Amino acid sequence: MRLYWLHKAMNPTTRTSERNSDKLLFTPGPLTTSATVKAAMLRDLGSRDYEFIATVRAIRQKLLAIGGQPDESLYTTILLPGSGTYGVEAALSSIVPANGRLLLIVNGAYGKRMMKIAAVHKIETQVLSYAENVIPDLSAIEAALAADNTITTVAVVHCETTTGILNPIAAIGALVKSFGQTYIVDAMSSFGAIPIDLAACHIDYLISSSNKCIEGVPGFSFTLARKDGLIAAEGHARSLSLDLVAQWRELDASGQFRFTPPTHTLLAFHQALLELEAEGGVDGRAARYKANHDVLMYGMQAMGFRAYLAPDVSSYIISTVYYPTHPNFSFERFYQTLNEKGYVIYPGKLGEVDCFRIGNIGRLYPADLEGLLAAVQETLHVMQIPQLGLEAR
């Protein structure tokens, strides 16, 4: 680890997360949150209380600003109870018309989940499928749109949580716009930490959730949507509780949810938004996550681990590495030993590829990643796995 520790000495990172008895979560979400975000939940507010309604209004406005929309002239924010998948299902089942056809661009598990959602709602779907480490082919997307004028809607995941690969949503959006189709982006693992301008990317619907890069706690999803698209989608919904247009109408009319809102989660999220602003907004958070990613990958590669994604397609949100080829390596034992040391990485591997994931997001700092690296080094020693290639790096 000689070069890693030299790097550490040259780049001191003394700040760490507000460490308490909780384990640190190096996962794509739920994730480690600040003490102040957790404390914000220690209040009871009625769902019809004026203070709560004002909080909901502030959240909706702040989310639009993060998406590059300072006012509500073109876009609006729709909050919906449930996980991010609830938000994706709400968008797909509410927006695609009964006689519509969906083009899905898939290179990971969450694109495949959209396929399942479409199948459940009997939405006619065409899929462009790619390996989990391959960026979608823009020419193939253009050809698919040109060949089928029945396609009404295109959907893609921005940062695929499966691997951390970053798909080119702006370039895809330009193609979708040129064919006059509706564009849905799952930005679950990117919104709040990777700059996204809704209008510049020609996004009609962007979905994310409370427990990702904005560093809130689980409990609701949100959709940033073009108003003219919502108006055109009136009556398309295939579900009562997941009716995106009806939820928007009620939020705009009364400031309230149609059904019971996750009040405590929303209070925590409002605090998380204030902390995002204090950190310097999306750019400030991106800088910290990039630093986390750089420290992690430098140290992991110094120990002999090999990155799954090429640097030019990898995000700084999630890092994916191959299993060591040493016969002593057992991921189950590796995961459990790190867990016992207070470091929780993402359990399990990719589909058919022997890889594991480490999240760089949440209330974590480079020093926390250094602690994880030390725990990985200790774990490899316990498993009697030599750190091959150190002297050559």
- Identify whether 310 is part of a domain: yes
156 and 272 assigned to the same domain: yes
Residue 12 CB burial class (10 angstroms; 0-12, 13-18, ≥19): exposed
Which token pair is 143?
Answer: 């050809």
292 and 228 assigned to the same domain: no
130 and 248 assigned to the same domain: yes
Q: Are strands 220-226 and 182-186 parallel, antiparallel or unpaired?
A: unpaired
**Residue 106 in contact with residue 114, Cβ under 8 Å?**
yes
Peptide bond before residue 30 is cis, with ω within 30 degrees of 0: yes
**Residue 43 in contact with residue 362, Cβ under 8 Å?**
no
Name the phi and psi angles at 306, rounded to 5: -115, 130
273 and 285 assigned to the same domain: no
**Which pLDDT score is estimated for 353?**
87
Write down which residue in 277, 301, 333 finishes a domain.
277
What is the CATH number for 81? 3.40.640.10
pLDDT 10s digits, 233-257: 999 999 999 999 999 999 999 999 9
Per-residue confidence in pLDDT tens, the chain, 393 aa: 434 443 453 354 546 666 567 999 999 889 999 999 999 999 999 999 999 999 999 999 999 999 999 889 999 999 999 999 999 999 999 999 999 999 999 999 999 999 999 999 999 999 999 999 999 999 999 999 999 999 999 999 999 999 999 999 999 999 999 999 999 999 999 999 999 999 999 999 999 999 999 999 999 999 999 999 999 999 999 999 999 999 999 999 999 999 999 999 999 999 999 999 999 999 999 999 999 999 999 999 999 999 999 999 999 999 999 999 999 999 999 999 999 999 999 986 667 789 999 999 999 999 999 999 999 999 999 999 987 543 333
> In the beta sheet, which residues pair with residue 105?
128, 156
Write down which residue in 255, 277, 299 finishes a domain.
277
Residue 318 is part of which domain span? 2-35+281-382
203 and 337 assigned to the same domain: no
Residue tagged 């359990």 (tokens): 347
**Which pLDDT score is estimated for 246?**
98
**Residue 34 in contact with residue 216, Cβ under 8 Å?**
no
273 and 169 assigned to the same domain: yes
167 and 195 assigned to the same domain: yes
**Which pLDDT score is estimated for 18?**
63
CA-nearest of 157, 159, 156, 155 to 194 is: 159
Q: Are strands 205-209 and 220-226 parallel, antiparallel or unpaired?
A: antiparallel
Q: What is the C-alpha separation between 76 and 205, in angstroms, rounded?
A: 10
Which token pair is 388?
Answer: 């091959």
pLDDT 10s digits, 201-222: 999 999 999 999 999 999 999 9
Write down which residue in 277, 299, 330 finishes a domain.
277
Q: How far is CA 98 from each of CA 177, 235, 241, 285, 320, rounded to the nearest angstrom?
A: 21, 10, 18, 40, 39
